[in-house]
């Protein structure tokens, strides 16, 4: 009996281990998949200086790993020191990209932070010389004793300490800070052994700024500037990598000059803004316009209360499809929606459509029934969206508790975040202006297949004039393409918002669907 119990316990433990391992594996896969940006996005966002240094460090690590001679390894570390001296002369790291590896506090609440630096994978996989254990981290000391001469630990009550409450391990961030001089590596390095210092260096940094990165995987397109693409050239970044006293052949690190890569927002607009008909081959204007005006009147005067209260600030679209017989009676209503839409919002759209009494269809109407699909668009309410609220609350907490002549002193961290938030708001507002202006000129006079799609790139000058226009995804229907382009060509804009003028011509990609 005891043996039987032991066997049963072992089986249960084994099953528990297998199940737990599988569950954690699935969870890890989902987490990594969600937070890992594509190599193209990463390559576009990493600063050139960071990428050059990371390329050099991986080259030295590869050479160190393959070397069996202790003297060669000594010389390699010396050469790496010289390389870092040339590449980071002022010891300042400005808006680099990394992922939070460690975010903890000491017993008295001081925060210590360690980031793993981002590195764009080489475009040619044959050139990938990364050793398995290679990684580079930058961060604070993790205890008060080693931090005595550096003051890198983040103290409670400071703006940066307050700001860290918004972050979690594993998140990608952009950061700035000051590093320190070190005897063996130019930068102060905390690894206990030479091998770790060369293969997975841990550089000490005093942080000044950090913020989250929202990688634009879906609504942003990466486009390489044709001018810089044409003029791109290679350059050597480590001329001194050849070892003078060694017979080992050492390759030189080369990198391509980083082109100006633009993150172009893609805005989706609809050709049919108000309604879509199953048949346009009749004199429909008076009949449908009267119906539409009454529907809008009812909907505007009885809006969904939950949307007005800010319960669904992301907004969305509601479509009500009505089937009308020749006698003017509606035989069927069908409601569909996209985005963040509640039952109350759907009901409000349906009621507005249902309340209108219709006259019989004209005698010359060619079909037995008319299908009309009305569109009800609920715009985003940016200032009510949780992310924006949290960001602005956090910024307000980053004010230093000091005043000079009655004026509040705002920390450097808060200044940068406020500037970023204002830029985002300006960009969002201008994008909504673009949507409204472009779509207001569409004149649908025929039915188009709902699966059609066009993509057009525009460049808008500081004065608001369209100076560039390029069809990047021609449609399958020439008629649809012509109808869209005729409407877009009539669009007119005021001058670019002040915050966006430095990006002129401001480029944006439109996706037009029926």
pLDDT tens string 446-463 = 888 888 899 999 999 999
Residue 339 backbone zone (phi > 0: left; psi -120 to 50: alpha; other: beta): left
Task: Write down how long the chain is.
Answer: 514
Render pLDDT for 121-135 as a digit per residue (tens, 0 to 9): 666 545 555 677 899
Q: Which band of pLDDT confidence, cut at 50, 70 and 90, is reported for residue 238?
A: very low
If one counts every other C-beta atom within 10 angstroms of the C-beta of residue 271, the result is 19
State how far the Cα of 169 lies from the Cα of 116, in Å rounded to an integer: 11
State how far the Cα of 59 lies from the Cα of 240, in Å rounded to an integer: 12
Render pLDDT for 70-123 as a digit per residue (tens, 0 to 9): 999 999 999 999 999 999 999 999 889 999 999 999 999 999 999 999 887 666
Q: Are 460 and 473 in contact (CB under 8 A)?
A: no
State how far the Cα of 378 lies from the Cα of 349, in Å rounded to an integer: 11
Instruction: Inform me whether the pLDDT recorded for 348 exceeds 60.
Output: yes
Cα pseudo-dihedral 127, 130, 131, 134, rounded to 10: 170
User: What does pLDDT average to over the chain?
Assistant: 79
Q: Are 475 and 456 in contact (CB under 8 A)?
A: no
Rg from Cα positions in the chain:
30
Q: Which residue has the higher pLDDT, 403 or 502?
A: 502
Reference 140, options 175, 184, 89, 166; nearest CA is 175
Q: Are 468 and 459 in contact (CB under 8 A)?
A: yes
Which residues 6+ apart lie within 8 Å of 352 measured at CB?
A: 295, 296, 298, 299, 302, 376
For residue 201, with 0-12 CB atoms within 10 Å meaning exposed, 13-18 middle and 19 or more buried, which class applies?
buried
Of the chain, the end-to-end C-alpha distance in Å amounts to 74
Question: Which residue(s) pair with 253 in the sheet?
Answer: none
């Amino acid at each position: 009996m005891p043996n039987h119990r032991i066997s049963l316990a072992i089986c249960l433990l084994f099953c528990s281990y297998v199940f737990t391992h599988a569950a954690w594996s699935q969870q890890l896969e989902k987490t990594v998949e969600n937070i890992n940006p594509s190599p193209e996005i990463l390559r576009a966002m990493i600063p050139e200086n960071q990428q050059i240094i990371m390329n050099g460090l991986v080259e030295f690590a590869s050479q160190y790993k393959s070397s069996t001679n202790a003297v060669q390894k000594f010389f390699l570390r010396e050469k790496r020191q010289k390389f870092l001296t040339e590449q980071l002369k002022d010891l300042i790291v400005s808006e680099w990209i990394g992922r939070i590896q460690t975010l903890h506090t000491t017993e008295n609440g001081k925060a210590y932070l360690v980031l793993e630096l981002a590195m764009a994978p080489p475009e040619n996989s044959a050139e990938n010389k990364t050793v398995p254990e290679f990684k580079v981290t930058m961060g604070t000391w993790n205890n008060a004793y080693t931090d005595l001469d550096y003051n890198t630990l983040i103290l409670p009550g400071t703006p940066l300490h307050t700001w860290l409450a918004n972050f979690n391990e594993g998140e990608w961030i952009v950061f700035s800070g000051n590093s320190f001089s070190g005897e063996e590596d130019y930068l102060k390095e905390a690894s206990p052994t030479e091998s770790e210092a060369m293969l997975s260096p841990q550089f000490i940094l005093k942080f000044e700024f950090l913020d989250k990165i929202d990688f634009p995987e879906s609504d942003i397109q990466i486009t390489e500037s044709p001018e810089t693409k044409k003029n791109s050239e290679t350059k050597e970044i480590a001329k001194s990598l050849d070892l003078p006293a060694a017979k080992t052949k050492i390759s030189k690190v080369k990198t391509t000059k980083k082109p100006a890569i633009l993150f172009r927002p893609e805005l989706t607009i609809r050709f049919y803004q108000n309604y879509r008909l199953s048949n346009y081959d009749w004199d429909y204007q008076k009949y449908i316009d009267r119906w539409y005006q009454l529907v809008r009147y009812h909907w505007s005067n009885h809006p969904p209360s939950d949307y007005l209260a800010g319960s669904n600030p992301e907004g969305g679209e509601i479509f009500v499809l009505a089937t009308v017989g020749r006698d003017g009676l509606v035989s069927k209503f069908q409601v569909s929606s996209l985005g963040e839409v509640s039952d109350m919002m759907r009901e409000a759209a349906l009621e507005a459509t249902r309340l209108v009494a219709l006259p019989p269809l004209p005698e010359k109407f060619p079909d037995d029934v008319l299908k009309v699909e009305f569109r009800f668009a609920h715009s985003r309410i940016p200032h009510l969206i949780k992310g924006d609220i949290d960001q602005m609350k956090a910024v307000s907490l980053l004010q230093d508790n000091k005043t000079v002549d009655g004026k509040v002193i705002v920390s450097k961290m808060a200044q940068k975040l406020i500037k970023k938030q204002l830029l985002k708001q300006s960009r969002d507002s201008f994008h909504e202006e673009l949507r409204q202006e472009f779509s207001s000129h569409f004149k649908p006079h025929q039915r188009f297949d709902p699966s059609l799609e066009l993509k057009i790139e525009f460049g808008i000058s500081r004065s608001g004039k369209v100076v560039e226009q390029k069809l990047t995804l021609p449609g399958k229907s020439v008629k649809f393409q012509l109808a869209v382009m005729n409407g877009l060509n009539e669009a007119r804009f005021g001058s670019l918002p002040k915050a966006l003028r430095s990006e002129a011509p401001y480029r944006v990609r439109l996706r037009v669907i029926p």
